Amino acid sequence: MKRFCARCGADIGLFESANLGNLCLKCYMEVHKLSEPPRTISLTICRKCYSIKLKGRWQAVDLSSEDSTTSKLTQAIISEIERLCKLKIETSLTSREAYRLLSGEPITIKATLSGKVHPALEPLITSKDIEVKCDFSLCPTCLKISGKQFEATIQLRGFDEKQLEQIKFMVNKLIVDRSGGSHNIQTGAVWEEVDGGVDVKLPTADIARRIASLVKRHFKVQVKESYKDAGWDKSKGRPLRKLTILLRSRNT
Ligand SMILES: [Zn+2]
Ligand SMILES: [Zn+2]
């Protein structure tokens, strides 16, 4: 008995009629929007903090842990390949490969189909080499810090050395936690000693408010907030207003 693809009329076998819903492999893939895995993919990575841009969002990479860096990169590669071919795949990366990738070297990986997959799809991906490259760019935080576009400043006044060290430690921890390990006080803020205290310059007003409330919780302070117009914010299409929060110690 002759069998034909229900969509294009091509000759098909028993296998297709039983497993692919009477479609030839080509039509099956078109109907399910599957395509062959790409030969090359590139990941967008921040050249300063190594955050990865995935599906339009920047995701933190915790460089202090080799395992988490490697697994984050592996996930990013899988998600990028799956986005391009709509097939569920698996691959693994060694920490050495992750390191090479982050230092700008392309690597070649092998991917396999994951889970229970149609045998007809196996040849599409098994033993296929996929080249992975990095496109280096700057994440929003690094862009602001390197361009000195701070949205907010915290002025710490009247604290002694020891208190300032405590605050610096808390601010660092907050930035590390909030950024998932991508940033710390050196890469996510500017800590500047000035006459009478310290100015902490920050990329967003949000992080400044969090720092202010943290300091308020631990020290007796007098708080004064003010805004200053600072031109036009092209990215948001509205006037740029810079926030200053003055935190003056009441203990001195
Ligand atoms: Zn067909
Ligand atoms: Zn960055």
Measured in Å, residue 60 CA sits from the centre of ligand 1 at 44
Query: Which pLDDT tens digit goes with each residue over 50-66?
Result: 999 988 889 988 888 89
Q: Return d(Cα 189, Cα 59) in angstroms, integer.
A: 18
- Domain locations in the chain? 34-137, 141-249
Point out the ligand nearest to the CA of residue 188. Answer: 2
Q: Return d(Cα 225, Cα 243) in angstroms, integer.
A: 7
Q: What CA–CA distances, in Å, run from 138 to 28, 145, 191?
A: 40, 10, 21
Measured in Å, residue 166 CA sits from the centre of ligand 1 at 69
- Pair 129, 109: CB distance under 8 Å: yes
Point out the ligand nearest to the CA of residue 4. Answer: 1
- Pair 182, 51: CB distance under 8 Å: yes
Q: Which amino acid is at 206?
A: D
Helix (H) or strand (E) holding 176: helix 161-178
Measured in Å, residue 124 CA sits from the centre of ligand 1 at 17
Single out the residue of 209, 212, 205 nearest to residue 167, CA to CA. 212
Q: Return d(Cα 36, Cα 53) in angstroms, integer.
A: 23
Query: Which pLDDT tens digit goes with each residue over 166-199?
Result: 999 999 999 999 988 889 999 999 999 999 999 9
Point out the ligand nearest to the CA of residue 20. Answer: 1
Point out the ligand nearest to the CA of residue 9. Answer: 1
Measured in Å, residue 49 CA sits from the centre of ligand 2 at 4
- Pair 12, 106: CB distance under 8 Å: no
pLDDT in tens, the chain (252 residues): 789 999 999 999 988 888 888 999 889 889 988 888 889 999 999 999 999 998 888 998 888 889 999 999 999 999 999 999 888 888 999 999 999 999 999 999 988 887 666 677 776 666 578 999 999 999 999 998 988 889 999 999 999 999 999 999 999 999 999 988 889 999 999 999 999 999 999 999 999 999 999 999 999 999 999 999 888 877 778 888 899 999 999 975
pTM comes to 0.75
**Strand, coil or helix: 184:** coil
Measured in Å, residue 16 CA sits from the centre of ligand 1 at 10
Structure tokens at 26: 């080509």
Point out the ligand nearest to the CA of residue 180. Answer: 2
Question: Which residue shows structure tokens 């948001």?
Answer: 236
Structure tokens at 118: 């149609």
Q: What is the DSSP string of 49-78?
A: T--EEETTEEE---TT-HHHHHHHHHHHHH
Q: Which residues surround ligand 2, an ion (CB under 5 A)?
A: 46, 48-49, 51, 139, 142
Question: Which residue shows structure tokens 């935080």?
Answer: 141
Structure tokens at 182: 């991508």
Q: Return d(Cα 173, Cα 8) in angstroms, integer.
A: 61
Measured in Å, residue 28 CA sits from the centre of ligand 1 at 7
